[in-house]
Structure 1
Amino acid sequence: MTIETEVDRHAWQSTDGLTRRAALGALGAGALVLAGRTAQAQAAKPQEIRVGIATYLSGPASVFGVPGRQTAEMLFDEINAAGGIGGVKVRPIFVDEGPGVDHFVGEYRRLVQSENVNLIFSAISSADCIACAPLADELKRPTLLWDCGTQRIFEDGKYDYAFRTQGNATPEVLAPLLYLLKVKPDFRSIAVINQDYAWGRDSWELFKTALDVLKPGVRVVAEMFPRFGATDFTTEVTRLLATRPDVILSTSWGGDLDALIRQAADRKLFDRSLFVLPLAESSLERVGKTLPAGHIIGARGDHWFLHPSPQDPARLTTFVENYRRRFNVYPIYSCYHMAQAVACMKAGYEKALAAKGGAWPTDAELANAFRGLEFPSPTSTIKIRPDGQGLENQLIGRSIHTDKYAFPVLTDMVVFPAEMITTPVGQKSGDWLKGLKPDILGKVPQAVAYRG
């Protein structure tokens, strides 16, 4: 869901290493291979586990990146206070995604080649994830894709060292569509107002593809893509007031979404149309009760401090209270995504260590441990499929105002099982969505009301 430039994924797959090896004689090449295998077979226990973490520390996406960094710092402190992983302390090394993809690629290489990190968490930007997945294989460094949304990574490529610890764009837009079709099945028109970059356009394409299958004939009265970072939505709100769509979709996020909510509320647009805001969980505390009740809100996963059915209520409560105590706000979805990456790292090391009777795993052995791994999130369990894609439930609800909180919370919450809404292994999301059947609506779980 993040700032993306259009990247040719294959351009990142450097052939320099192959060219150099081709120039070597058979004996020299054999020696290099043997040396590499020997190093892998004799992995020494490190003095510390160094983890390179790419996140936005500057720019508009820092509203997600800084909470992600804070979560990593908090959880690494907790791991170290408990003795580390396999008796080894962990240390984060943060890099800023803000300067762009070229900068990030250089930072990724520096983390591996100069900082000698054992593991990398990357990234918020989908463009950065597209760039680093082949780099992970080239440099043979286990990499956890901790927040990026593009579905293309594991649908378009296969990787041995890259794994995603959360869902992708397809379940993140399909779940709110299914919810909409359940709560307002009679709507006849829709408009979209998304940020003008890959996430905004791709998420609308996925949503529209599924909508055309499950409710054909809905009239699209406006498709608007204001520039990323826009602060004035006067033109867009005026057009929406004039066209009067039954439903307004926006997968926007951050400061853009905050501004849109405030300006739409000022002109009573929320009174005329039902808004579907799949990423608005992260805006609720910032916009407060400016966002009216009754609109559809997504949590980009099942990330909600008032989750109606957490797998382990004590685990969720501890996470939320520890974060609030340290940072004085509620955790948002980037915090939960970082927590999932940290839990995956810990579980992967423990699995690899157990497989070797306590001996320290090589990079390849650690990477192998992530495939098929199950690990806890603050609210549920995440599983990494054989293709490297994580399976993550999705929570959707409707905004409600209460006396207890100074911002909207959610009611009529539905937790969609990951398997129900995630493109199967080996299929492309566009093709899979075109094959959806109306009976999927009968599989939507029961909604749960806010309990106070």
Structure 2
Amino acid sequence: MTLIRRTVLGALAALPLAALSPQLARAADTIVLGEVNSYTRLPAFTEPYRKGWELAVEQINANGGVLGKQLEVIARDDTGDPATAIRIAEELIAKEGAVMIFGTFLSNIGLAVADFANQKQVFFLASEPLSDALVWSKGNRYTYRLRPSTHMQAAMLAEQAAKLDAVKWATVAPNYAYGQDAVKAFKEELSRLRPDVEFVEEQWPPVFKIDAGPTVRALEAAKPDAIYNVTFGGDLAKFVREGSLRYLFDDRPVVSLLTGEPEYLEPLQGETPNGWIVTGYPSTDIDTPEHKAFAEAYIAKFGEAPKTGSIVGYNSVLSIAAAITKAGSTETEAMLAAMEGLEVTSSPTGPFMFRAADHQSTMGAYVGKTALVDGQPKMVDWFYADGAAYLPSEEEAAKLRPAE
């Protein structure tokens, strides 16, 4: 009996030490954030994005962290697959002790993780996915979105398109949630501003699998006055090359979503079209004090200029840190309450806030034109469009969301 008693007491005495496993000991002085993104599928955007959030974490931790604790991001690659993204999100919460999830790029993955967050009652900050459904038709109380939505950026472009003489328009967009939302929003906004316009052709190539020849021929056959383009990445490069060879863009304005972002503009090199009206990010030309400080720190750390993804990653962590600070806690309900009307004042792109009605941030975007400057692709004649100016009122937005 004595031997058994000693064995039991010894085991009980060891429990506090066993409890201090590396994971639990880490949790005592750190705040773990789970991050999910398509690193191998879309490295042109996600690698700068990773560098952006890494810089923000480093700076915040150097200044004392959040609530006296250091931030730690555990990042995982979803490989561009929604099912993988959900499995990873589950593991980050259940096994790694993450207090919330952020990230994702493709809209279908963002929507999948948003649904996971709603079912599991986990705070999710969708950093990048642009589908309007994320905050409107499929919005939920656990999901907020950082980047200006498809509707917001399409409205920015429609405002510029309305100033053109063009009446007959054609569109080309990838055939999934983001592309569909982008065309729908542009058509609605342009028609509101210019009731005389008509849309004479729509092309819907599969994402990342555009057959540029037939696409360009169909657009040319419609004889539009102007084109609205939503393709990006490799699809954009193929579309630009084929369209240029067939003179599709000669004397025909093109309005193009995201094309001014360095991730998509720089690979075009000498094939960069001249004068396309675009949303993007003129990273080396923004001279506000906040952006200059960010850009200098980014260049010093990584040896390259920041890209759009860099800003998204950086602003993601700034937003999370601001929410936790305001909440005074990492409890989900406290963070959600803090997100309602949360203001982020130290962003390189200027202050923005998260709306309580639809969980959309008012972070804006840059609008300008494409050009070759000294042989290099550039965004010129640009201005910053405040996201708040391109959103429906909070009352109107609330009606677009499902009842909770």
Q: Name the TM tier (shorter chain).
A: 0.7 to 0.9
Runs of 5+ in structure 1 lacking a partner?
1-43, 354-359, 432-452
Query: Residue in 2 aligned with 1:271?
Result: 250
Return the alpha-carbon distance in structure 2 between the equivalents of residues 243 and 158 of structure 1.
37
> 2:240 aligns to what?
261
Counterpart of 2:394 in 1: which secondary structure? coil
Q: Residue 389 of structure 1 corresponds to which residue in structure 2?
A: 360
Deviation digits for residues 375-407 of structure 1, max 9, x if unmatched?
03211111001132211223211223333x722
Q: Residue in 1 aligned with 2:331?
A: 362
Deviation at 1:101, TM superposition (A): 1.3
Q: Aligned pair 1:331/2:306, yes or no?
A: yes
Secondary structure in 2 matching 1:192: strand
- Does residue 85 of structure 1 match 2:66? yes
Shift of 1:48: 1.1
The residue identity in structure 2 corresponding to 1:221 is V
User: Structure 1 residue 342: deviation in Å?
Assistant: 0.8
Secondary structure of the 1:91 match is strand
Q: How big is each residue's C-alpha offset from its partner over 1:196-247, in whole Å with a ceiling of 9 and x where there is no partner?
A: 2222122111211222332234233321111221254122223334443221
Cα deviation per residue 1:294-318 (whole Å; 9 max; x = unaligned)?
Answer: 210112xxx432566x7xx122112
| Whole-angstrom CA distance in 2 between matches of 1:287 and 1:95 | 30
Of stretches 100-109 and 161-170 in structure 1, the one that deviates more from structure 2 is 161-170
Query: Which residue type is aligned with residue 237 of structure 2?
Result: D
C-alpha separation in 2, matches of 1:107 and 1:290: 39
Q: What do the CA deviations read for 1:89-110 (whole angstroms, capped 9, x no partner)?
A: 2111112232411221111111
- Unaligned regions of 5+ residues in structure 2, if any? 1-25
Partner residue, 1:434: none
CA distance in 2: counterparts of 1:429 and 1:247, whole angstroms: 34
Deviates more, 1:47-56 or 1:196-205: 196-205
Give runs of aligned pairs for residues 40-55 of structure 1, distance below 5 A: 46-55=28-37
Aligned residue-pair number: 371
Task: Assess, with a 3 A threshold, how the Cα gap between structure 1 residues 158 and 261 changes in structure 2: closer, same or farther.
Answer: closer
Question: Which residue is equivalent to 1:58?
Answer: 40
Partners of 2:139 and 2:248 lie apart in 1 by 45
Please report how far the alpha carbon of residue 177 of structure 1 lies from its aligned counterpart in structure 2 after TM superposition. 0.7
**Aligned-pair CA distance for 1:428:** 5.6
What TM-score results when the alignment is normalised by the length of structure 2?
0.84
User: How far off its partner does 1:111 sit?
Assistant: 1.0
Q: Out of 101-110 and 149-158, give the one that drifted further.
A: 149-158
Corresponding residue SS for 2:125: strand
Residue in 2 that maps onto 1:19: none
Three-state SS of the structure 1 residue aligned to 2:254 is: strand
Identity of paired residues, percent? Answer: 23
Return the alpha-carbon distance in structure 1 between the equivalents of residues 314 and 392 of structure 2. Answer: 24
Task: Output the CA distance in 2 between the equivalents of 1:247 and 1:286.
Answer: 24
Equivalent AA in structure 2 for residue 74 of structure 1: L
C-alpha distance in structure 2 between counterparts of 1:223 and 1:429, whole Å: 30
SS of the counterpart of 1:391?
coil
Aligned to 2:391: 422
Offset at residue 158 of structure 1 (A)? 5.6
Aligned 8 A contact 2:39 2:47 in 1: yes
- Post-superposition Cα deviations, 1:290-343, rounded to whole Å, max 9, x if no partner, equal 2132210112xxx432566x7xx1221122233334444432222212211111
Matched, 1:347 2:316: no
Question: 1:115-154 maps to which residues of 2 (within 5 A)?
Answer: 115-154=96-135
SS at match of 1:278: strand
